[in-house]
Structure 1
Amino acid sequence: TFLRKFVDNLLEQSREKLSDIQKKIPAIIKANREVMEHILRCRKDTNVSIELYEEMMHGLEDLKQQLTEYGEGEIFVDDFRHADIRISNSINHSSKHTIRISNFIENSWNESNGAMTGETRALWTILQNGTVRKEEEREDTPVFIRIYMTSSGVNNITSEVSKLRFLKHQHVAEFLGLHRAHVGFPAFIYKNKMRTLRQYLKSKTRDGKERVRIFQETVKGLEYLHRRRLVHMELNTHTITLDQSTEKVTLTGACLPRKANLPMDRESVEVSHFVFISPEVLNGEAYLSCDDAYAAGLLALELIFKIKPYKEYRTWSLDQFAREVNPPEMLKLHETLQGQPREVYDVITKCFGKADDRPHMEEFMRVKFPIIDRMRTVEEENPTSAQRFDGFGAPSRV
Structure 2
Amino acid sequence: MFDRPRELLEVIEENIPAMIQSNEELLDHISHCRIDANESRETYEKMMVGLETLKHQLLEYGTGQIYVDDFIGREIRLRDDYNDYGDSGDFRCSAIILNCSNNTRGGDRRIQRGIWTALQNASLYDEEEKRDEAIIIKVYLPLAGISETFAEVTKLRFLDHPCVAKFLGIHHSDSPIPAFVYMDHLRSLKIYRESTFCNLRVEIPRFLEEVVYGLEYLHSKKLVHMELCQNTITVDFDGNVKLTGGCLPRLASFPMDKESIGVGDFAYLSPDVLRGEIYVACADVYALGLLIFELLLNTRCFDNQRMMTLDLFTSKVDPIGMNDVINKCQEVNMTESTKNLIVWCMDPSADKRPPVQVIAEKMSDFKTEQCAQNLRRSGFQTRRHQAVKRVPSKQAS
TM-score w.r.t. the length of structure 1 is 0.73
* Partner AA of 2:232 in structure 1: T
Give the structure 1 partner of residue 303 of structure 2: 311
The 1:359–1:55 alpha-carbon spacing in structure 2 relative to 1, beyond 3 Å, is: farther
Contact 1:122 1:239 in 2 (8 A): yes
**Greater Cα offset, 95-104 or 346-355:** 95-104
* Partner AA of 1:373 in structure 2: N
Equivalent position to 2:87, from 86, 90, 97? 97
Equivalent position to 1:210, from 197, 200, 203? 203
Give the structure 2 partner of residue 201 of structure 1: 193
* Partner AA of 1:101 in structure 2: F
Give the structure 1 partner of residue 343 of structure 2: 349
- State the alpha-carbon separation in 2 of the partners of residues 186 and 248 from structure 1: 27
- State the alpha-carbon separation in 2 of the partners of residues 330 and 156 from structure 1: 37
The 1:59–1:347 alpha-carbon spacing in structure 2 relative to 1, beyond 3 Å, is: same
For residues 37-72 of structure 1, give each alpha carbon's deviation from its aligned partner in whole angstroms, at most 9, with x where no partner exists.
Answer: xxxxxxxxxxxx99975663325667679xxxxxxx
- State the alpha-carbon separation in 1 of the partners of residues 268 and 100 from structure 2: 23
The 1:342–1:192 alpha-carbon spacing in structure 2 relative to 1, beyond 3 Å, is: same
Q: 1:96: Cα distance to partner?
A: 1.8
Gaps of 5+ in 1: 1-48, 66-77, 381-398
Matched, 1:241 2:234: yes
Matched, 1:326 2:318: yes
SS of residue matched to 2:243: coil
Contact 2:273 2:279 in 1 (8 A): yes
SS of residue matched to 1:79: strand
Contact 2:211 2:241 in 1 (8 A): yes
Q: 1:99: Cα distance to partner?
A: 3.4
**CA RMSD, aligned part only?**
2.8
* Partner AA of 2:165 in structure 1: A
Report how many residues are paired: 317
Q: 1:264: Cα distance to partner?
A: 1.2
* Partner AA of 2:118 in structure 1: I
Give the structure 1 partner of residue 287 of structure 2: 295
Contact 2:145 2:253 in 1 (8 A): yes
- State the alpha-carbon separation in 2 of the partners of residues 172 and 50 from structure 1: 30
SS of residue matched to 2:151: helix
SS of residue matched to 2:297: coil
SS of residue matched to 2:148: coil
SS of residue matched to 1:140: strand
- State the alpha-carbon separation in 1 of the partners of residues 217 and 178 from structure 2: 24
* Partner AA of 2:262 in structure 1: E
Contact 1:208 1:304 in 2 (8 A): no
Task: Spell out the pairing of 1:163-182 with structure 2 (5 A cutoff).
Answer: 163-182=155-174
Matched, 1:58 2:51: no
- State the alpha-carbon separation in 2 of the partners of residues 176 and 222 from structure 1: 20
For residues 151-171 of structure 1, give each alpha carbon's deviation from its aligned partner in whole angstroms, at most 9, with x where no partner exists.
Answer: 110111000000000000000
The 1:55–1:258 alpha-carbon spacing in structure 2 relative to 1, beyond 3 Å, is: farther
- State the alpha-carbon separation in 2 of the partners of residues 374 and 126 from structure 1: 30
SS of residue matched to 1:284: coil
Equivalent position to 1:280, from 247, 250, 272? 272
TM-score w.r.t. the length of structure 2 is 0.73
For residues 271-310 of structure 1, give each alpha carbon's deviation from its aligned partner in whole angstroms, at most 9, with x where no partner exists.
Answer: 0100011111111000000000000001001111112100
Gaps of 5+ in 2: 1-51, 382-397
Contact 1:278 1:295 in 2 (8 A): yes
Contact 2:197 2:377 in 1 (8 A): no
SS of residue matched to 1:173: coil
- State the alpha-carbon separation in 2 of the partners of residues 358 and 232 from structure 1: 16
Task: Spell out the pairing of 1:1-398 with structure 2 (5 A cutoff).
Answer: 53=56, 56-58=59-61, 79-90=70-81, 93-102=83-92, 104-105=95-96, 107-109=98-100, 115-116=107-108, 118-206=110-198, 207-244=200-237, 246-338=238-330, 339-353=333-347, 354-367=349-362, 368-369=365-366, 370=369, 371-374=372-375
- State the alpha-carbon separation in 2 of the partners of residues 268 and 80 from structure 1: 40
Give the structure 2 partner of residue 27 of structure 1: none
